[in-house]
C-alpha cells in the first residue's frame, strides 16, 4: 500500500502537513477569530422553531435564493452586482483557483497572510508567489508587489482587507495601484469587514478585474460555513460553473436567513468586540513588555521578547488559555502570538494569565 501511495499521491501533497486545528477542550478558546457570543434562549427557541419547516429528504435550493436575498438586503450588496455563495469563503478561494487553474499560472498573495491562499493554490497545482509585507508595520511593500506582478503576471491576486494574521488594514491607495497593475483578477478578502469601517464593496465596477469576498464566519456564524463573493455577473457566472451542486446545505440556508433577520444583534456583538479590542490593545501596550500591533479585526497580533513565544504560548495553555502561536508560521512573525478578542471575562483571564507568563 505504501508503495502505491508513493507513486499515486502527488509529491507536493505527500509533503504537506494536514491543516492543524488545535484541540481546545477545556480551554478558553481565543485562537480562531470566532465571535464569543451565543444567542439568548429566546432567539435560540425561535431559530429551532423555524427549523421545523426544513425538509432533510430533499436537496437544498441549488442557488440558495433565500440566503442571497437576505444577504443582499443585510449587507448592502450593490444591486447591479452578482453574488456567489460558498461553503465558507475557503470554498470560494478554491472555486476561483479551479476556474483559472493551469500549471504555468501564478496566484499571488501578501505574506504573512491567510494560509489557505497558498495551500489551495498548491492543491490545485498552480504556482504561488508570496510577496513579503513591510517588516516593521506589515504595510504593503508596493515596489516589491509591483515588481512581482510584472515578473509573475499572476492570474489571481488575494488582498485580505483587513489582513490576517497581522490585523492591519492596508492602505487603500496601495490596493488600487495593485488592482490597476494586475493583469488578472484581484479578490479583496473582507473576512473582517464587521470590525472595520472601510470596504471595497462600494468600489465594485470601478475596475473590471475586482471582486470582493466575505464570510459570515467571523461575524458570529462560523459553524454554518457561509462565504460570499460579489462582483460583475459575467465573472461570477463563469466561476459558478466549478461550484459543486448543492454546496450550501438546507440547515445553513435556513439558519443564515434566520440570523440575518437578527442582523442588529450581530452588529451589536461586532461593536462590543471592537470596544473590547481597544481595551485589550491598550492593556497589552500599557502594562506588558510586548509589542501589540493595531488591529482592524477581531484579534490582536503581539510580539514578545526574542525566543519567548513558545514558552509564553505553553504557559498560557497551562493556565487554560488557548491562543495562536505564529512564531513558526513566517519569518516576519518571529516571536509573535495572536489572540482573538473574546468575552470581557475571557480577555481578563487572558491578560491575567499573560501577566503570569511574562
Ligand atoms: C477566516 C478567514 C477566511 C475563511 O473564512 P471561512 O468563510 O470560514 O472559510 C477567509 N479569509 C481570511 C482572511 C480569513 O481570516
- In the prediction, which pLDDT does 12 show? 85
pTM of the model: 0.97
Asked if 150 contacts 121 with a C-beta cutoff of 8 angstroms, the reply is no
Candidates 169, 218, 224, 228: which one to mutate for ligand 1, based on the most atoms within 8 Å of Cβ? 218
Asked if 117 contacts 93 with a C-beta cutoff of 8 angstroms, the reply is yes
Distance 353 CA to ligand 1 centre (A): 28
Q: H/E/C letters for each residue in 48-75?
A: HHHHCCCCCCCCCCCCCHHHHHHHHHHC
Residue 46 lies in a domain: no
Encode pLDDT of 252-288 as tens digits.
999 999 999 999 999 999 999 999 999 999 999 999 9
CB atoms under 10 Å from CB of 77, counted, come to 19
Domain of residue 330: give its range: 2-40+264-357
Encode pLDDT of 100-131 as tens digits.
999 999 999 999 999 999 999 999 999 999 99
- In the prediction, which pLDDT does 43 show? 97
Residue ending a domain, choose from 229, 262, 295: 262
Looking at the structure, do residues 248 and 268 belong to the same domain, yes or no? no
Looking at the structure, do residues 211 and 154 belong to the same domain, yes or no? yes
Residue ending a domain, choose from 233, 262, 291: 262
Encode pLDDT of 38-77 as tens digits.
999 999 999 999 999 999 999 999 999 999 999 999 999 9
Looking at the structure, do residues 148 and 288 belong to the same domain, yes or no? no
Distance 282 CA to ligand 1 centre (A): 26
Going by pLDDT thresholds of 50, 70 and 90, the confidence category of residue 90 is very high
| Beta strand 321-322 pairing with 28-29 | parallel
Q: Give the whole-number percent of the chain exceeding pLDDT 70.
A: 100
Residue 80 lies in a domain: yes
Indicate the number of domains in the chain.
2
Query: CA-CA distance, 281 to 124, in Å (whole number)?
Result: 39
- In the prediction, which pLDDT does 22 show? 87
Query: CA-CA distance, 70 to 86, in Å (whole number)?
Result: 15
Looking at the structure, do residues 111 and 231 belong to the same domain, yes or no? yes
Instruction: Determine if ligand 1 sits within 6 Å of the CB of residue 164.
Output: yes
Instruction: Determine if ligand 1 sits within 6 Å of the CB of residue 83.
Output: no
Which residues lie closer than 8 Å to 206 by C-beta, 6 or more apart?
none
- In the prediction, which pLDDT does 17 show? 78
Encode pLDDT of 125-147 as tens digits.
999 999 999 999 999 999 999 99
- In the prediction, which pLDDT does 15 show? 86
**Rg of the chain in Å (alpha carbons):** 21
Which of these, 104, 47, 7, 106, lies nearest to 256 by C-alpha position?
47
Asked if 156 contacts 127 with a C-beta cutoff of 8 angstroms, the reply is no
Residue ending a domain, choose from 262, 293, 310: 262
Q: Give the whole-number percent of the chain exceeding pLDDT 90.
A: 95
Amino acid at each position: 500500500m505504501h508503495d502505491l501511495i508513493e507513486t499515486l499521491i502527488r509529491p507536493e501533497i505527500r509533503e504537506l502537513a494536514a491543516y492543524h486545528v488545535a484541540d481546545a477542550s477545556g480551554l478558553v478558546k481565543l485562537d480562531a477569530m470566532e465571535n464569543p457570543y451565543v444567542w439568548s434562549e429566546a432567539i435560540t427557541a425561535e431559530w429551532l422553531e423555524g427549523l421545523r419547516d426544513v425538509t432533510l429528504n430533499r436537496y437544498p435550493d441549488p442557488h440558495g435564493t433565500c440566503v442571497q436575498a437576505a444577504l443582499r438586503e443585510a449587507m448592502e450588496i450593490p444591486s447591479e452586482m452578482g453574488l456567489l455563495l460558498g461553503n465558507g469563503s475557503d470554498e470560494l478561494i478554491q472555486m476561483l483557483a479551479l476556474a483559472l487553474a493551469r500549471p504555468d499560472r501564478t496566484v499571488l498573495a501578501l505574506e504573512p497572510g491567510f494560509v489557505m491562499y497558498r495551500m489551495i493554490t498548491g492543491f490545485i497545482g498552480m504556482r504561488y508567489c508570496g510577496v513579503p509585507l513591510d517588516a516593521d508595520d506589515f504595510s504593503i511593500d508596493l515596489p516589491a508587489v509591483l515588481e512581482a506582478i510584472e515578473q509573475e503576471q499572476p492570474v489571481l491576486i488575494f488582498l485580505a482587507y483587513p489582513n490576517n494574521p497581522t490585523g492591519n488594514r492596508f492602505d487603500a491607495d496601495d490596493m488600487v495601484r495593485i488592482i490597476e497593475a494586475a493583469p488578472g483578477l484581484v479578490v479583496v478578502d473582507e473576512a473582517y469587514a464587521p470590525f472595520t469601517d472601510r470596504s471595497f464593496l462600494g468600489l465594485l465596477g470601478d475596475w473590471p478585474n475586482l471582486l470582493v469576498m466575505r464570510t459570515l464566519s467571523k461575524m458570529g456564524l462560523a459553524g454554518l460555513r457561509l462565504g460570499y463573493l460579489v462582483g460583475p455577473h459575467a465573472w461570477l457566472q463563469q466561476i459558478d460553473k466549478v461550484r459543486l451542486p448543492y454546496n450550501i446545505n438546507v440547515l445553513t440556508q435556513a439558519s443564515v436567513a434566520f440570523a440575518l433577520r437578527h442582523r442588529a444583534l450581530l452588529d451589536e456583538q461586532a461593536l462590543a468586540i471592537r470596544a473590547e479590542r481597544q481595551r485589550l490593545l491598550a492593556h497589552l501596550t500599557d502594562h506588558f513588555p510586548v509589542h501589540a500591533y493595531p488591529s482592524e479585526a477581531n484579534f490582536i497580533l503581539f510580539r514578545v521578547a526574542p525566543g519567548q513565544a513558545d514558552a509564553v504560548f505553553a504557559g498560557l495553555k497551562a493556565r487554560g488559555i488557548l491562543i495562536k502561536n505564529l512564531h513558526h508560521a513566517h519569518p516576519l512573525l518571529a516571536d509573535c502570538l495572536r489572540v482573538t478578542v473574546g468575552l470581557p471575562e475571557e480577555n481578563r483571564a487572558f491578560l491575567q494569565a499573560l501577566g503570569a507568563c511574562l
